[in-house]
Structure 1
Amino acid sequence: MEKNIITMWAILALFMVLAILSFTTDASDPDPLQDFCVATEVPEFEVFVNGKFCKNPKKVTADDFFYKGFNIPGEIKIPQGAVVTMVNYKNLPGLNTQGISIARADYAPFGVNAPHEHPRATEVFAVVKGSFYAGFVTTDNKLYDKILNEGDAMVFPRSLYHFQLNLGDTNAFAFVAFNSQNPARADVARGVFGAKGVFGTTPKIYDDVLSKTFLVDKTVIEQIQSQILSINV
């Protein structure tokens, strides 16, 4: 019975997310100039459109528009207790130039999707299982926050920092949609305190900048940096 209810909410959440996205076109990718542009990594004899090479339409198959595995929870490896499984033009090539992508967000008990922003997309977060505390901060430093339960959805405007916290002591998940085929992500903690690759800037920001910004001693900055860099995923 519980499984059927979750499945029902999953279907409703997907329809709701896609419906809401149809009204968020102002910040979306440019409109496609053709029926489709299936992404390809082999540019020879292909056509260049919207940032990715397009597959020859004569070589396109139904598999280019198909993704399998959205029902499988993501593996949570980081101590924050959350993981987002993106489905975009990279693993669903038919999304290229369509101005949309979708994701599954999984949370461990009391897990948090730490404050971050998407520079190229508005996000719609639809709860399938569990309860969340979620919110975003405007450029006027105003917080808009809500408690979200199963069947609820919340919009996070483009480029504004936002977060979600699982309020329960069991696993939870949500479906997330973006009005961009490549929304990108910038994390506050990793971007500021990290110092390599996906975990931060390369090279790292001077400790003097961070200690003066946060009004703390450099040893505090170094401690935070070491914790961020210890994450291995």
Structure 2
Amino acid sequence: MASTTSSVTVFSVLVIVSCFGFLEMTMAGDPDILTDFVVPATVNASQGVDGIFFTFTGLESLMAADPPATFKATKVSMAEFPALNGQSVGYAVLQFPAMTTNPPHTHPRSAELLLLIDGSLEVGFIDTANKLYTQSLQSGDIFVFPKGLVHFQYNSDPQNPAVAVSAFGSANAGTVSLPTTLFASGLDDNVLAISFKTDVDTIQKLKAGLAPPKP
């Protein structure tokens, strides 16, 4: 009888642990909302919102502007467009002058679906087995970067720019830039030197190259 009771107890614990594991998986993305949309606390409740709230005009300036001199990502996330809160979607417009790159980075909260609008791009990502997947994209091509994996985009054309639009399954996908995170966050020089099997002088040169320009 004691053995049966013990088995039931163990089974119950396993069920509870499994349930918590499932809940963690389901909560990994943006949380579901219980209303049609989320109105910011700063909005007067009696006035509510209108169509303007659901309209983002921040990309209008890109339409007639000259191409940027360096790589530029214009984000459309919850921070820039509050109406996205709770909707689990986001966008970014990526502009690549000739011979520029979007450095290796990750999006911890979403996959990225990139549509190349103009030009050509070399793209790729690295999986958790350290395998590199690359592809050459032409205008009209779509490429998916799996959630959380390190990836990059590179315009190798020496003369022509490229433009892409990326969609995200999160209103706040987040971006972790590897160069910035490693060399412009104050991480100890000795830790980096040992990790990259180099010397502190080399690490300091890398940090200096990523330091923001002095005003």
Secondary structure (helix, strand or coil) at the match of 1:190 reads: helix
TM-score when normalising by structure 1: 0.73
In structure 2, what is the Cα distance between the partners aligned to 1:33 and 1:113?
Answer: 37
- For structure 2, list consecutive stretches of 5 or more residues without a partner in the other structure: 1-25
Q: What does residue 133 of structure 2 align with? A: 144
In structure 1, what is the Cα distance between the partners aligned to 2:178 and 2:189?
Answer: 16
Aligned partner (choices 215, 218, 221) of residue 197 of structure 2:
215
TM-score when normalising by structure 2: 0.79
Aligned partner (choices 161, 165, 168) of residue 178 of structure 1:
168
Root-mean-square deviation (CA), in Å? 2.4
- The answer to whether the aligner puts 1:225 opposite 2:188 as a matched pair is no
Aligned partner (choices 69, 75, 88) of residue 77 of structure 2:
88
Per the TM alignment, residue 31 of structure 1 is displaced from its structure 2 partner at its CA by 2.4
In structure 2, what is the Cα distance between the partners aligned to 1:59 and 1:28?
Answer: 28
Q: What does residue 38 of structure 2 align with? A: 37
Per the TM alignment, residue 230 of structure 1 is displaced from its structure 2 partner at its CA by 4.1
Identical columns (%)? 32
Deviations 1:96-143 (A, max 9, x none): 100111110011101100000011111111100010000111111011
In structure 2, what is the Cα distance between the partners aligned to 1:145 and 1:96?
Answer: 33
Q: What does residue 4 of structure 1 align with? A: none
Deviations 1:143-200 (A, max 9, x none): 1111011000111111101000012222211001110001111111110011xxxxxx
Number of aligned residue pairs: give it. Answer: 186
Per the TM alignment, residue 32 of structure 1 is displaced from its structure 2 partner at its CA by 2.5
- For structure 1, list consecutive stretches of 5 or more residues without a partner in the other structure: 1-24, 43-53, 195-200
Q: What does residue 10 of structure 2 align with? A: none
- Describe how 1:179-194 pairs up with structure 2 within 5 A: 179-194=169-184
Change (3 A) 1:55 1:213: farther
Secondary structure (helix, strand or coil) at the match of 1:162 reads: strand
Secondary structure (helix, strand or coil) at the match of 1:134 reads: strand
